[in-house]
Structure 1
Amino acid sequence: MREPESAPETKAASKTPPAASASAPSIPPLSERLSRPAPERLVAIGDLHGDLEKTRRVLRLAGAIDANDAWIGGKLMVVQTGDEIDRGDDDRRILDLIEKLKGDAKKAGGELIALVGNHELMNVGFDFRYVTPGAFKAFTDITASDPNTAAFLAQLDPSARGRAAAFAPGGRYATLLAERPLMIKVGDSIFVHGGILPKHASYGLDRMNDEVRAWLTGKKEKPPQVVVAEDGPVWSRAFSIPGEEKCALLDESLRALGAKRMVMGHTVQKGGVTDACDRKAWRIDVGLSHYYDGPVQALEIKGDTLTPLKESG
């Protein structure tokens, strides 16, 4: 049964297979994996949630692809802020399309950066509450190569085993996700799925990424608690519906990160792309998938000029 649209997803305890301040402190420069110079043009895209048709439409809106899914963006940079999966049947096809376009963009001198969202991490933790029957079927061809993992998956419902094998730590799609960062700083903008609090900056963004990567590749038994906590960077809604106090917290984070603004998905904005906190918080999850039936929109960034992009007609 579809959950009420207004009800936010909740966290559940993960199942794990056998192991295979007053002012924000400045942080060391981010690694190359987590930082880029500002391009001439960047387009940020929010949650896709298993809707391939809308994914293609928003990428065309951005000027990234043509009607045949070929990259036409040239040096364009696209940042997709996570949650490509769940709630729709097409999530495997979206993951595969994004991976293809990452390579195509690089060849053309552009870049497509896909971040990890809470739904990606939920699937690696075998939290399949938001997986559709069609999305389970899409992974039936995948089996676990590790005997310990295979034995664990045998305890699951047969319909879920292929997806679980794909997203199990060290599995094909978990390994794919391991190549995606939790957040990225591009020029003066920091992109993340949920939100980066001052304590996250203090913990270390590269440290969080390294620890999540180790879990996704099966080298670490559990993800770092700071990431998967209710106020972790993939779960936080602090800046999605902020008040004056939260805007002050955002200022602390931005000072620590040396950024002017934070761009985030995760929380559906029924009015489309919105900004808050004197345009320092940009919320780009517009609920574009058929699950939410929201508009197809994205955010264009050229220097300090930020413009919501909307489909015509």
Structure 2
Amino acid sequence: MHEPEPAQQVASAAASTHAAPANAAPKPLSSRISREAPARIVAIGDLHGDLDKTRRVLRLAGAIDANDVWIGGKLTIVQTGDEIDRGDDDRKILDLVEKLKGDAKKAGGEFIALVGNHELMNAVFDFRYVTPGAYRAFGDLTAADPNTAAFLSQLDPSARGRAAAFAPGGRYAAMLADRPLFVKVGDSVFVHGGILPKHVAYGLDKMNDDVSAWLLAKKERPPQVVVADDGPVWTRAYSTPGEERCTMLEEALQGIGAKRMIMGHTVQNGGITEACNRKAWRIDVGLSHYYGGPVQALEIKGDTITALKEPG
């Protein structure tokens, strides 16, 4: 199921930007979005407010036990965004992930959560996919900034807590500001929607920094290149690729210095799929209750890539 494109919600107020030429040499990626390869990586796609399935896929990955305690040791988990919307449990998922980020670090591992389109939609109060239970879960939050509070007073009372949470500068917006749009771990680059050559030329670090600054209320608008219809959290360019799209993917990967791209965003009916000679991996399997898909994750050990599947 495809969602409406974001331009009219997010980008209408954003100033236009101009990408660098496609053949410009990419700048080295910062440590914020580039890691040395660990022995084992497990990538997890969209969670969409389903805490039960979130716990199940993390157990499948060997990350947590039945009590949500980190048992992954030096495992690296990459979750490719869209933890929220479509289900009642999205605040609990956000909080669990933040806890596991700290627990993994203490054990010598890492839990990396990326920003997806639904996280950015909530930051502009696009709440079309919020459930009644998810509104209630944020009902205890209020805006600290007087100007924000005055604006939120115009919203339906049921939405004010959530809006306070995700408004730039709000508690959960600040949480998201610490999450990158992209991460490169070893030879694999991870993103919610996809990275196009023009994104590489524009600068992945710049996009990350500008989105973070916006979520912290240090910039007035998100960067147009991110929230455009073909932005990295929205594009579906590699969802049904042909030869032209595979050539485009190869160009992007060369610019990043990666062998493969792992992405969520577009539901793959029946489970994880690959394309472009195993250089494109689509891991949004619709595992949430909303979609009713299987519980799966993608394991990466060097160049050995395996789809992990819940038994049954």
TM-score, reference length from structure 1: 0.95
CA contact (8 A) 1:178 1:213 kept: yes
Distance 1:209 1:15, change over 3 A: closer
C-alpha separation in 2, matches of 1:94 and 1:15: 28
CA contact (8 A) 1:58 1:297 kept: yes
| Paired letter, 2:219 | K
Question: Match for residue 219 of structure 1?
Answer: 218
C-alpha separation in 2, matches of 1:158 and 1:73: 41
CA contact (8 A) 1:141 1:162 kept: yes
Is residue 110 of structure 1 aligned with residue 109 of structure 2?
yes
Distance 1:16 1:213, change over 3 A: farther
C-alpha separation in 2, matches of 1:131 and 1:242: 31
- Return the offset for 1:15: 9.9
C-alpha separation in 1, matches of 2:5 and 2:223: 18
CA contact (8 A) 2:173 2:216 kept: yes
Listed one character per residue, the Cα deviations across residues 186-215 of structure 1 (whole Å, up to 9, x for unaligned) are 111000000000000011011001100110
Listed one character per residue, the Cα deviations across residues 148-184 of structure 1 (whole Å, up to 9, x for unaligned) are 0000001111100000000000000000000000000
| Paired letter, 2:132 | P
C-alpha separation in 2, matches of 1:237 and 1:214: 26
| Paired letter, 2:9 | A
Is residue 287 of structure 1 aligned with residue 282 of structure 2?
no
Question: Match for residue 155 of structure 1?
Answer: 154
C-alpha separation in 2, matches of 1:220 and 1:254: 30
| Paired letter, 1:13 | Q
Question: Match for residue 9 of structure 2?
Answer: 13
Q: State the superposition RMSD in angstroms.
A: 1.6
CA contact (8 A) 2:193 2:265 kept: yes
Question: Match for residue 16 of structure 2?
Answer: none
C-alpha separation in 2, matches of 1:298 and 1:88: 20
| Paired letter, 1:88 | G
Structure 1 segments unaligned to the other structure (5+ residues): 1-5
Question: Match for residue 242 of structure 2?
Answer: 243
Distance 1:210 1:164, change over 3 A: same
Q: Which moved more, 1:75-84 or 1:6-15?
A: 6-15
Distance 1:42 1:60, change over 3 A: same
- Return the offset for 1:8: 2.9
| Paired letter, 1:190 | V
C-alpha separation in 2, matches of 1:24 and 1:101: 40
- Return the offset for 1:25: 3.8
Tell me the number of residue pairs that the alignment of Structure 1 and Structure 2 aligns: 305
| Paired letter, 1:169 | P
Question: Match for residue 75 of structure 1?
Answer: 74
Distance 1:278 1:25, change over 3 A: farther
Listed one character per residue, the Cα deviations across residues 50-100 of structure 1 (whole Å, up to 9, x for unaligned) are 000000000000000000000000000000000000000000000000000
CA contact (8 A) 1:16 1:125 kept: no
CA contact (8 A) 2:21 2:201 kept: no
C-alpha separation in 1, matches of 2:168 and 2:279: 35
Give the 5 Å matches for 1:1-313. 6-11=1-6, 12-14=8-10, 24-313=23-312
- Return the offset for 1:24: 4.4
C-alpha separation in 1, matches of 2:104 and 2:148: 35
C-alpha separation in 1, matches of 2:151 and 2:111: 35
CA contact (8 A) 1:49 1:85 kept: yes
Listed one character per residue, the Cα deviations across residues 114-166 of structure 1 (whole Å, up to 9, x for unaligned) are 00000000000110000000000000000001000000001111100000000
- Return the offset for 1:298: 0.3
Question: Match for residue 3 of structure 1?
Answer: none
TM-score, reference length from structure 2: 0.95
CA contact (8 A) 2:46 2:265 kept: yes
Query: Helix, strand or coil for the counterpart of 1:119?
Result: helix
C-alpha separation in 2, matches of 1:74 and 1:232: 34
| Paired letter, 2:184 | K
| Paired letter, 1:111 | E
C-alpha separation in 2, matches of 1:177 and 1:294: 26
C-alpha separation in 1, matches of 2:209 and 2:305: 31
CA contact (8 A) 2:2 2:266 kept: no
- Return the offset for 1:241: 1.3
C-alpha separation in 1, matches of 2:280 and 2:62: 24
C-alpha separation in 1, matches of 2:237 and 2:296: 22
Query: Helix, strand or coil for the counterpart of 2:261?
Result: strand
